[in-house]
Amino acid sequence: MTLQLGDQVPDFTQASSQGEISFYDWAGDSWVVLFSHPADYTPVCTTELGTVASLKSEFDKRNVKILALSVDGVESHQGWIQDINETQNTQVNYPILADEDRKVADLYGMIHPNSLNNLTVRSVFIIDPNKKLRLTITYPASTGRNFDEILRVIDSLQLTDNHQVATPANWQDGGDCVVVPSIPTEEAKQKFPKGVTEIKPYLRMTPQPNK
């Protein structure tokens, strides 16, 4: 299955390091970051799982739940979690799906037969409270994921869902935003009382509306 942006992601029930998870019920009204790993006891993924644990409060502030996936079983996960806690000086505080039958990997298109490793590749999915896929990034095995970028994208998605703006290159929370093209400039000046700077008729900037 190939999931595309805007698709409703499939529901599933699967074992995890924190008990059985029925995805839709578990996600509730939260955003979800689902990220996959090719196997337990992999070095780059060990650092990633520890990093996400250390950032959990940042995800919590944004109403985001974290869900990892690896194709090994729960018992293996528990041993790996001990290693992660020890080596990364953290406590893994979110569930890791035990996708031994590849059910979730297949549902979400995580198997890339032509990649170096035929197991689940290292994908990230951002899913909104309506269970719609809003972002997907797939990383090579040799490159650790940038979770500051994942948080940045979530900030952008949550901002742009609620205000008629887009975020420019390298935008960070608090930075100026792009007025969407569908709003005429005079209307934009009324809508954004902090000011609208017209660089080109199609490129108008305004301070972040919710700051």
pLDDT digits (tens, 9 = 90+) for 35-63: 998 889 989 999 999 999 999 999 999 99
For the chain, percent of residues with pLDDT exceeding 70 = 95
54/210 Cα distance (integer angstroms)? 27
Q: At what angle do helices 43-54 and 74-88 cross, to 10 degrees?
A: 70
Q: What are the residue ranges of CATH 3.30.1020.10 in the chain?
A: 163-206
Can you give the pLDDT at residue 90? Answer: 95
Find out whether 177 and 208 touch, Cβ atoms under 8 Å.
Answer: yes
Q: 92 CB contacts (<8 Å, ≥6 apart)? A: 17, 49, 50, 53, 81, 84, 85
pTM, full prediction: 0.92
Can you give the pLDDT at residue 18? Answer: 97
What is the pLDDT confidence band of residue 116, given thresholds at 50, 70 and 90? very low
CATH number of 13-145, picked from 3.30.300.130, 3.40.30.10, 3.60.130.10, 3.30.70.270: 3.40.30.10
Lowest-pLDDT choice from 14-18, 121-125, 144-148: 121-125
Is residue 177 part of the annotated active site? The answer reads no
CATH class of the domain comprising 163-206: alpha beta
Can you give the pLDDT at residue 109? Answer: 87
Q: Which of 81, 23, 24 is nearest to 49 (CA)?
A: 81
Can you give the pLDDT at residue 113? Answer: 54
Which of 9, 45, 69, 165 does the annotation list as catalytic? 45
What integer is the mean pLDDT of 100-107? 90
Residues 152-191: tens digit of each pLDDT: 999 999 999 999 999 999 999 999 999 999 999 999 999 9
For the chain, percent of residues with pLDDT exceeding 90 = 83
Can you give the pLDDT at residue 25? Answer: 98
| Mean residue pLDDT across the chain | 93
What integer is the mean pLDDT of 82-88? 97
Find out whether 62 and 28 touch, Cβ atoms under 8 Å.
Answer: no
Q: What are the residue ranges of CATH 3.40.30.10 in the chain?
A: 13-145
